[in-house]
Structure 1
Amino acid sequence: MIEAHGLSKRYGAKSAVDNVSFTVQPGKVTGFLGPNGAGKSTTMRMIVGLDRPTSGKVLVNGQPYARHKAPLREVGALLDAKAVHTKRSAYNHLRAMAATHGISAKRVNEVIELTGLGPVAKKRVGGFSLGMGQRLGIAVALLGDPHTVILDEPVNGLDPEGVLWVRHLARGLASEGRTVFLSSHLMSEMAQTADHLIVIGRGRIIADAPITEIIAGQDKIRTLVRTDNPRDLLLALDAPGVAGVEKEGGLLEITGADPRSIAETALERRILVYELTPQQVSLEDAYMELTRDDVEYRSQDLVQEPVPAGTASGKGN
């Protein structure tokens, strides 16, 4: 279990993490999400004692990480897969880590097999691909057979087979009653892996709930409609909270009106509709809605914003 209590970290005048409190429970996969610069990596570094909190505290399995007599057996972490001596082989790197923590050579061979490093175990790490480097980092995290596993962007650089392997690994560890805490920018993968989500923005927790609740909490009725008269339909749907985006080919994305009411309105106005498809809110939709005001580094917005029904669609007449 990981318990953060009023955790804060400042770098001069900048607050990287601001009074954060949360609990990561054993027996489930907890995802850690947030925009770049939100404080995810700083929080993870404080959990394993690499950064000292300005205030507050964080406990792992009941006590600070630094107080564990055998920390690698308590917590396995992948924070920077590149933090390896490039002239060592994967096997020698793992063997050196094991020797300093009283872990047997048998366990080294076990994690090499588990992570698929067998064919490259005797090769120098400096020649590894990004994906193989990630697998080595995960092998180090699992070396002590820890109760708690922390993985920062574990699927970075992995091929589809590797991504699927990490998903099964995380869920398998959780099923054994371990605490699994991981971050990823791949929303589709997080949606299939995590049971619970903690979302951070600008150093503060903005959501902490089961993934199903987070998606349901952002659930807005959204329907794709294809018609030969998109502007007339938008005008006809004029009502508070109803908005639409006109796309190419007569396609509309309507929010705030259910499919039945759209169909009834179209029938009353004698507007031909030949596609009416309800859309389910995804984790990505929910995440973007949650963090829209907490993005520190924003690219130019190229996405057309919805316009209220009953107004012009935003295109020239």
Structure 2
Amino acid sequence: MIQAEGLRKHYGPKTAVDGISFTVQPGRVTGFLGPNGAGKSTTMRMIMGLDRPSAGHVTVNGKPFAQHKAPLREVGALLDAKAVHTGRSAYNHLRAIAATHDIPVSRVHEVMAMTGLTEVAKKRAGGFSLGMGQRLGIANALLGDPQTLILDEPVNGLDPEGVLWVRNLVRYLAGQGKTVFLSSHLMSEMAQTADHLLVIGRGQLIADMSVQNLIASVQQKKALVRTPQSAELAAALAAPGVSVTQSAHETLEVAGLDTRSIAQIALERQILLYELTPQEASLEQAYFELTRGAAEYQSDFSMATATHSQATGMPGQPQNYKN
């Protein structure tokens, strides 16, 4: 279990983490989300004792990380896959780490087999690809068979088979009662992997809830409608709290009305509908809604422009009908 209370970190005048409190429970995969510069890496470094908090405290399995006599047996972490002796082979790197905790060589062979490194055991780590470096970092995290696992962007550089392997691995470990805490920028992967989410923005905790509850917290009634009478239907749907956007030719996106109400209005006005499909929010949509304005680095290219471009093949702004 990981417990943080009032965790704060300043770097000169800059506040990287601003008094956050949370608990990462065992037996489930907890995802850690946030824009670049939100404070995720700093938080993970404070958990691992690599950065000292300016205020507050954090414990892992009941103690600050530095107070564990055999930390590798308590916490396994992947924070920087490049943090290896580049001149050593993968096997010698893991064997050297194992020796610091009296971990048997048999465990080194075991984690290498688990992570698919057996065939490259004698190759120098400095020559590894990004994906193979990630596998070595995960093998290092698993070496002491720890109760708690902390992984920062574990699927970075992995091929689809590797991504699936990480997903299955962390869910298996959580099923064994271990604490699993991981960050990722891949929303689709996090939606399939995590049970619970912590969302951080500008150093502050924005959300601490299950994946399902986070999506539901920002979801509203939406529908995709295709009709040759789009302008007429848009005018008929106009009402307080209803937003109608023409996202492509003969295609409307309606927010604030369910499909039954849209169908009834279209029937009353004898408007032909080619398609009427309810739209459910994704984790990505929920994330962008929650972190709107919380990103430290923002572009001028809007999500609406991107959606319109994908739908029509042409850049530009979609037309909005609002009341």
State the TM bucket, normalised to the shorter chain: over 0.9
Offset, 1:244:
2.1
The answer to whether the aligner puts 1:134 opposite 2:134 as a matched pair is yes
Separation in structure 1 between the aligned mates of residue 87 and residue 179 of structure 2, nearest angstrom = 33
Decide whether the 8 Å contact of 1:245 with 1:304 is kept in 2. no
Separation in structure 1 between the aligned mates of residue 280 and residue 268 of structure 2, nearest angstrom = 27
- Taking a change above 3 Å as real, the CA distance of residues 310 and 148 of structure 1, as seen in their structure-2 partners, is closer
The answer to whether the aligner puts 1:249 opposite 2:253 as a matched pair is no
The answer to whether the aligner puts 1:23 opposite 2:30 as a matched pair is no
The answer to whether the aligner puts 1:79 opposite 2:79 as a matched pair is yes
Partner of 1:153: 153
Decide whether the 8 Å contact of 2:246 with 2:320 is kept in 1. no
Offset, 1:310:
4.9
Decide whether the 8 Å contact of 2:245 with 2:321 is kept in 1. no
The answer to whether the aligner puts 1:207 opposite 2:204 as a matched pair is no
Three-state SS of the structure 2 residue aligned to 1:304 is helix
TM-score relative to the length of structure 2: 0.94
The answer to whether the aligner puts 1:168 opposite 2:168 as a matched pair is yes
> Between Structure 1 and Structure 2, how many residues are aligned?
311
Q: How does 1:194-233 map to 2 (within 5 A)?
A: 194-233=194-233
Separation in structure 2 between the aligned mates of residue 168 and residue 50 of structure 1, nearest angstrom = 29
- Taking a change above 3 Å as real, the CA distance of residues 63 and 307 of structure 1, as seen in their structure-2 partners, is farther
Separation in structure 1 between the aligned mates of residue 284 and residue 17 of structure 2, nearest angstrom = 23
Three-state SS of the structure 1 residue aligned to 2:99 is helix
- Taking a change above 3 Å as real, the CA distance of residues 303 and 214 of structure 1, as seen in their structure-2 partners, is closer
Separation in structure 1 between the aligned mates of residue 292 and residue 124 of structure 2, nearest angstrom = 43
Q: Name the amino acid aligned to 2:246.
A: E
The one-character-per-residue Cα deviations of 1:127-168 (angstroms, maximum 9, x if unpaired) are 111100000000000001000000000000001110000011
Partner of 1:315: none
Unaligned runs of 5+ in 2: 306-317
The answer to whether the aligner puts 1:109 opposite 2:106 as a matched pair is no
Offset, 1:84:
0.8
- Taking a change above 3 Å as real, the CA distance of residues 232 and 68 of structure 1, as seen in their structure-2 partners, is same
Q: Percent identity?
A: 68
The one-character-per-residue Cα deviations of 1:45-96 (angstroms, maximum 9, x if unpaired) are 0000010000000000001000000001000000000011111110010001
Partner of 1:7: 7
Q: Name the amino acid aligned to 1:283.
A: L
Three-state SS of the structure 2 residue aligned to 1:288 is helix
Decide whether the 8 Å contact of 1:223 with 1:279 is kept in 2. yes
Offset, 1:304:
2.8
Partner of 1:239: 239
Partner of 2:304: 304
Offset, 1:180:
0.3
Q: How does 1:254-265 map to 2 (within 5 A)?
A: 254-265=254-265
Partner of 1:94: 94
Q: Name the amino acid aligned to 1:89.
A: S
The one-character-per-residue Cα deviations of 1:177-208 (angstroms, maximum 9, x if unpaired) are 10000001111111111111000000000000
Separation in structure 1 between the aligned mates of residue 164 and residue 221 of structure 2, nearest angstrom = 31
The answer to whether the aligner puts 1:121 opposite 2:143 as a matched pair is no
Decide whether the 8 Å contact of 1:86 with 1:124 is kept in 2. yes
Decide whether the 8 Å contact of 1:4 with 1:57 is kept in 2. yes
Decide whether the 8 Å contact of 1:174 with 1:180 is kept in 2. yes
TM-score relative to the length of structure 1: 0.95
Unaligned runs of 5+ in 1: 312-317
Three-state SS of the structure 2 residue aligned to 1:45 is helix
